[in-house]
Amino acid sequence: MQETADIVDVAWQAVRPWAEGLGILGIGAAAGLLAAFAVRLALNLVLARRDPALADSLRRRCMGVLASFLPLLGIYLALPATDRLVEIPWLHAVLVSLLVFHAGFLLVRLVRVLEDALGRRLQMDVADNLQARKFHTQFRILRQVLTLIIWLLTGAAILLQFDGFRQFGQGLLASAGIASLVIGFAAQRTLGNLIAGFQIALTQPIRLDDVVVVENEWGRIEEITLTYVVVKIWDERRLVLPISYFLENPFTNWTRSSAEILGTVFLHVDYTVPVDALRAELERLVRGHEDWDERVAEIIAFEARPTTYELRALVSARDSGAAWRLRCHVREGLVSFLQREYPEALPRFRVGDCP
């Protein structure tokens, strides 16, 4: 029995430093979990009362990452207190790499939280949303740039933790001149689109939710990235264009400086049409209509053709969608009015008497 006890004691003395080290690391991880729990508690009890929207955004965006980052941080801080585990050469590098990765992930999430907070102050679902569209366009592109920079720096910091990759990086720097020329030539289109993305963010020829006519298609700007733009066409199709297209080709932007717009309805009628009666009917049609903004409602003689008299009805609306609905309403109303009250004013072709 004494020999067995001695063997067990020797084995325990050999395993003891490892077991104590694992216990210390476990305590560090538990402390990190408690810290994550405290942060969540603070969000729910303190911040949620003052700013519920910000608390909800932080909870959705960051708590998942923080719940793994803080235990890793606890393990990293507890590692020097261990005797044997601290001597493992690769353990420190792996822990630092995991911490750097989670820190980068957390920064990316915090950028999204900032976007959420600023976006709540400038809503796009209002009638006059020009300032909101300016902000969302600029910040969305800026967020993509920041995310790219964060991940590049995170990846570089992780690679620098390992000697083999550090030497590989030095070799890359030595041949950076030739590599940059090759990569620049091969990726000139991509780099051109990236530069175009910065120009779009600064000069803003287009913004999110702008109404545009591009490639003979009417639609709204649905998404802007660093390399391409998605236009949501009126029939629910999506037109995807490289972002450089909007710097190199002409296009129509209906909401460049304001969402307000004039809608036009053309009528081809006979020369006997009573224009004053038609003007009175137009005023009756738009008065009280939900899509009319009460700025413009008039009929002008646009063209005098050999066989018809061309009139143009102008009506104003708060945005392009309202203008479309108002134009349809006015067109139907004016044609019905002519059919009902003045059918002789509809287009007619006159043929002279035969000899």
Query: What is the domain-level CATH number for residue 291?
Result: 3.30.70.100
Burial 131-153 (b: 16+ CB within 10 A, else e): ebbebbbbbbbeebebeeebeee
Is residue 195 one of the residues assigned to a domain?
A: yes
Percent of the chain whose predicted confidence (pLDDT) is above 70: 76
Count of the separate structural domains present in the chain: 3
Instruction: State residue 173's pLDDT score.
Output: 46
Whether 337 shows a pLDDT value over 60: the answer reads yes
Region 37-52: what's the mean pLDDT? 84
Is residue 275 one of the residues assigned to a domain?
A: yes
Considering the domain architecture, whether residues 245 and 280 belong to the same structural domain is answered as no
Is residue 355 one of the residues assigned to a domain?
A: no
The residue among 172 and 3 whose pLDDT is bigger is 3
Give the domain range for residue 324: 261-345
Alpha carbons within 13 angstroms on the beta-carbon side of residue 106 total 14
Give the chain's length.
355
Instruction: State residue 186's pLDDT score.
Output: 46
Domain termination site, one of 149, 183, 217: 183
Considering the domain architecture, whether residues 57 and 175 belong to the same structural domain is answered as yes
Write the CATH number for 217.
Answer: 2.30.30.60
Mean pLDDT estimate for the chain: 78
Region 62-87: what's the mean pLDDT? 81
Considering the domain architecture, whether residues 81 and 162 belong to the same structural domain is answered as yes
Is residue 306 one of the residues assigned to a domain?
A: yes
Closest CA to 338 of 283, 272, 287: 272
Confidence of residue 3 (pLDDT cuts 50, 70, 90): low
Considering the domain architecture, whether residues 117 and 223 belong to the same structural domain is answered as no
Confidence of residue 118 (pLDDT cuts 50, 70, 90): confident
Instruction: State residue 282's pLDDT score.
Output: 92
Residue 62, H or E segment: helix 52-78
Considering the domain architecture, whether residues 82 and 195 belong to the same structural domain is answered as no
Region 86-103: what's the mean pLDDT? 82
Region 59-73: what's the mean pLDDT? 88
Whether 334 shows a pLDDT value over 90: the answer reads yes
Considering the domain architecture, whether residues 170 and 311 belong to the same structural domain is answered as no
Region 113-117: what's the mean pLDDT? 84
Considering the domain architecture, whether residues 128 and 196 belong to the same structural domain is answered as no
Is residue 353 one of the residues assigned to a domain?
A: no
Start-to-end CA distance of the chain, whole Å, equals: 141
Instruction: State residue 176's pLDDT score.
Output: 46
Domain termination site, one of 219, 253, 287: 253
Considering the domain architecture, whether residues 12 and 105 belong to the same structural domain is answered as yes
Is residue 272 one of the residues assigned to a domain?
A: yes
Lowest mean pLDDT among 128-142, 185-199, 209-223: 185-199
Please state, in angstroms and as integers, the Cα–Cα distance from residue 22 to each residue in 33, 86, 235, 301, following that order. 16, 11, 62, 90
Is residue 352 one of the residues assigned to a domain?
A: no
Considering the domain architecture, whether residues 161 and 22 belong to the same structural domain is answered as yes
Whether 21 shows a pLDDT value over 70: the answer reads no
